[in-house]
Structure 1
Amino acid sequence: MISLSQVPTPACIIDFDIFKRNCQRMLAVAESEQIVLRPHVKTLKSLQAAKYYAPSSMPVTVSTLAEARYFASAGYTDILYAVGIAPNKLNQLDAILRLAADFTVIADSLAAVNTLIDFAPQYSQSLAVMLEVDVDDHRAGLLPESDELIACARAIQNASNLRFRGVMTHAGGSYDCLDSSARQAMAKQECERISAAAGQLARHGIQCDIVSAGSTPTALAGVSHQGITELRAGVYATFDCVMAGLGVCQVTDIAMSVLTCVIGHQRSKNWVIVDAGWMALSRDQGTAGHHTDCGYGLVCDINGQVLDGWYVKATNQEHGIICHRDNIEPPEALFSYGQVLRILPVHACATAAQYQQYHVVDDTLTVSQQWSRISGW
């Protein structure tokens, strides 16, 4: 084990105690409502991390086939690939199916369903399919009241080597809900619209084994998730500045940070230069429309304490520029050459994607574990 101050920068840090607390928070929501929790593992993409919030006994959600292969190889059997399947990936599915009997893909059009039907005879066993439903006019999905929803479900149900599993949705519009009442309204809308889709199918004699919904903002909105059978969410395990800006968590709940080092100054501009640029932080500016724009991340000392008013204003590939919101002169005690700092990420998924491993720290700032992750598609 080594001290955090000895880790070469930039590096991705996970605060273990905060991480575990965040995981327990979401699990408590699902347990209190007696619904299945299907964690989304796309943020960390790590088996060591998943051990704490998505063990192999649980169903999981993935965003890439690389994740699906990785988790299936580790013994996960119920895996939902929650991105519309592209035809050029259909030949990759059987290898996953042989490991994970309940590997499931999604579709949201007759064109996609018919392509699956044509390819399905090549699989060694039946492939489970769910239909994606649009509940908020945000991205993909079939409308709950559409005739195409019925046609797609019936076509899957009648196909020789496909298995209809149900309906799913993601209320991505919740990321535009800037107060608790808006998040609660979106959470209710999400459940009402997806359950309406399941009801529409039931009236046509098509049963849904799974009615799946969720996003971190709606899952933690503090309302009943009536009408769904399972809850999906992912970024809650670490949170980030976007979630804090929406009021879903506090800044002190953010378990991920980027370790960086002061490498210079532009004193006439009140700039601090660090060795974490957009390659380390990502170029996501998801808080630009929030009440407080965090730029490319909030600045903390090595202990993880937020330095009030200091944020990463700009990034180049390997350089980050730290400024104060009031353009004050950087104190030498905080920002001397060689000083080690931590940056709270704007979007944890985008930041985590820059790294091959995480340094996990305990309350003594000792690196107690190193978690590997996979990348690619």
Structure 2
Amino acid sequence: MQEILETPALLLDEARLQRNVERMRVRMDRLGVAFRPHVKTSKCLEVVRRQMAAGARGITVSTLKEAEEFFRAGIDDILYAVGIVPNKLHHALRLIREGCRLTLLLESVVMAEQVARHGAEHGVCYEVMIEIDTDGHRSGVKPDDPVLLDIAAALQGGARLKGVMTHAGASYDCNTPEALAAMAEQERSRCVAAATLLRNGGHACPVVSVGSTPTALSASHLEGVTEVRAGVYVFFDMVMADVGVCTTDDIAISVLCTVIGHQADQGWVITDGGWMAMSRDLGHDHHGYGMVCDSDGQPVPELGFGKANQEHGVLQWRGDAGVDLTQRFPVGGSLRILPNHACATAAQHGQYHVIPQNGGDWPVWPRFNGW
């Protein structure tokens, strides 16, 4: 099938996808928490249906377009896990009025006041979570900051505090089981501490939501946590392999490209898969723009991918100088690239060409982009 695909093309290995979904299901069941997958990785209904079938309780999104697309498909329990701002409130309001159980996220008194006022003005009560910074990686309120109580107090009338949420993005910088376990415990304990501060201050805080793929797969227990979120686990990628929570055999997506030429004196193999097909995300910068594999998905360690133009991938031969690259990698031949960051690479494409786990024709699963 891949011989007739026009390249570059995004491939999805259904068997690996299903194995990854099942692995997370088993782990969440063992930890005794609800699971709310982050669907920004796939942005694909066929993928999310498999996650829901495996017991997911609602979804996490990073854009209101994702919320709208999946709500239209029948999923109505949605956490929008990016800080809400005024120019998005009418979009959120429209979804809620149509029946979507949309939860918003914020981290400031100013935004809490605006959300509560907007809800009161339009006759709705927004469900709101406060983002907690448990690792200094990105956004959120420190778990011991008294401003948490001020934010909760501002959620009156047109808004209601639902809980606290955190994302241990710093886990992507870990690379040993010990470091991952420590980060998972830091994420858990600090988010639970924030919930405790709020409860002691007289505010109901029923939901304690944590999550990243590395911490979800590394936590020893999740006492005090009610739900976990993770996204990239569904596909995995080279960053997750570097972190140590998967192997290259678990990575479910790859970009199929075609050899279009050579620069023999430079030791280069040129493909039609440039950074527009892969994204510019270099991950941990160990693999250039991705790991080069043969047409069957087996790594070719002698080929590096350290240079890319918009529509050209420039692969560098690092093996035996006597190899004839024009014979080893002929024009018209196929190669596959494992991505550094599955979310970013998938975002360069409009569909997945699915390698079916039971053989037969390759279906095409649509995905969407945008906001």
Q: TM-score, normalised by structure 2?
A: 0.95
* Letter matched to residue 30 of structure 2: S
Structural mapping, 1:286-325, within 5 Å? 286-288=283-285, 293-325=286-318
Q: Distance in 1 between matches of 2:271 and 2:171?
A: 33
The answer (yes or no) to whether the contact 1:360–1:371 under 8 Å persists in 2 is yes
1:28 shift after superposition? 0.9
Farther-moved stretch of structure 1 (266-275 vs 217-226):
217-226
Equivalences for residues 152-167 of structure 1 within 5 A: 152-156=151-155, 159-167=156-164
* Distance in structure 1 (CA, Å) of the matches to 2:217 and 2:361: 30
Note if contact 2:8-2:273 (Cα within 8 Å) is conserved in structure 1: yes
Whole-angstrom distance in 2 between the partners of 1:125 and 1:249: 43
SS of 1:175's equivalent in the other structure is helix
Question: Cα RMSD (Å) of the superposition?
Answer: 1.7
The offset of 1:331, in angstroms, is 4.0
Unaligned runs of 5+ in 1: none
CA offsets 1:228-277 (integer angstroms, 9 cap, x no match): 11010000000000000111100110000001000000100100000011
The one of 15, 39, 42 equivalent to 1:41 is 39
Residue 373 of structure 1 and its aligned partner are, at CA, apart by 1.2
Aligned to 1:151: 150
Q: Write the deviation string for residues 26-51 of structure 1: whole angstroms up to 9, x where unpaired.
A: 11111111100000000110111111
Shift of 1:327: 7.6
Task: From the superposition, tell whether residues 143 and 43 of structure 1 become closer, same or farther in structure 2 (CA, over 3 Å).
Answer: same
2:200 & 2:330 partners in 1: Cα distance? 68
- The residue number in structure 2 matching 1:281 is 278
| Deviation by residue 1:291-332 (Cα, 9 ceiling, x = unmatched) | xx1100111111111112323111100000112345845644
Deviation for aligned residue 1:97: 0.8
Q: For each residue in 1:327-349, what CA deviation from the matched residue of structure 2 results, as whole angstroms up to 9, or x when unmatched?
A: 84564454111001110001000
Kept in 2, the 8 Å contact 1:73–1:99? The answer is: no
User: For residue 79 of structure 2, what is the aligned residue in structure 1?
Assistant: 80
Q: Distance in 2 between matches of 1:209 and 1:298?
A: 43
**Is contact 2:303–2:319 with CA below 8 Å preserved after alignment?**
no
> Could you tell me how far apart the structure 2 residues matched to 1:308 and 1:322 are?
11
Counterpart code for 2:294: D
Give the one of 353, 357, 368 matched to 1:374. Answer: 368
Conserved? CA contact 1:240–1:348, under 8 Å = yes
Shift of residue 222, structure 1, vs aligned partner: 4.7
1:349 alignment partner AA: C
1:184 corresponds to 2:181: yes
Provide the rounded CA distance (Å) in 2 between the counterparts of 1:229 and 1:325.
49
Task: Identify the residue that residue 230 of structure 1 maps to in structure 2.
Answer: 227
What's the TM-score, normalizing by structure 1? 0.94
Deviates more, 1:221-230 or 1:132-141: 221-230
Q: CA deviation at 1:122?
A: 4.0
Match in the other structure for 2:66: 67
- Could you tell me how far apart the structure 1 residues matched to 2:218 and 2:85 are? 33
Counterparts of 2:320 and 2:107, CA distance in 1: 49
**Seq. identity, %:** 44
Does the C-alpha gap of structure 1 residues 310 and 203 become closer, same or farther in structure 2, counting only changes over 3 Å? same
Question: Equivalent residues in 2 for 1:168-207 (5 A)?
Answer: 168-207=165-204
Partner SS, residue 19 of structure 1: helix
Residue in structure 2 matched with residue 339 of structure 1 by the alignment: 333
Q: Aligned letter for 2:309?
A: N
Shift, 1:227, TM fit: 2.0
- Secondary structure of 1:224 counterpart: coil
Q: What is the Cα deviation at residue 121 of structure 1?
A: 2.4
Give the corresponding residue for 1:8: 6
Cα distance change, pair 167–327 in 1 and its aligned pair in 2 (3 A): farther
Q: Which of 201, 205, 222 pairs up with 1:208?
A: 205
Task: Specify the alignment match of 1:18 in structure 2.
Answer: 16
Which residue of 2 is the match for residue 218 of structure 1? 215
Q: What is the distance in 2 between the residues matched to 1:239 and 1:371? A: 18
117-126 vs 342-351, greater mean Cα deviation: 117-126
Moved more, 340-349 or 202-211: 202-211
Match of 2:238 in 1: 241
Per-residue deviation at 1:123? 3.7
8 Å Cα contact 1:358/1:372 also seen in 2? yes
Partner of 1:352 in structure 2? 346
State the distance in 2 between where 1:276 and 1:367 align: 24
Give the drift of 1:226. Answer: 2.2
Report if aligned partners of 2:292, 2:299 keep a CA contact under 8 Å in 1: yes
Cα distance in structure 1, aligned partners of 2:204 and 2:302: 53
Q: What corresponds to 2:135 in structure 1?
A: 136
One-letter amino acid of the counterpart of residue 276, structure 1: G
Distance 1:302 1:364, change over 3 A: farther
Compared CA separation, residues 366 and 124, structure 1 to 2 (3 A): farther
What are the ranges of 5 or more consecutive residues in structure 2 without an aligned counterpart? none
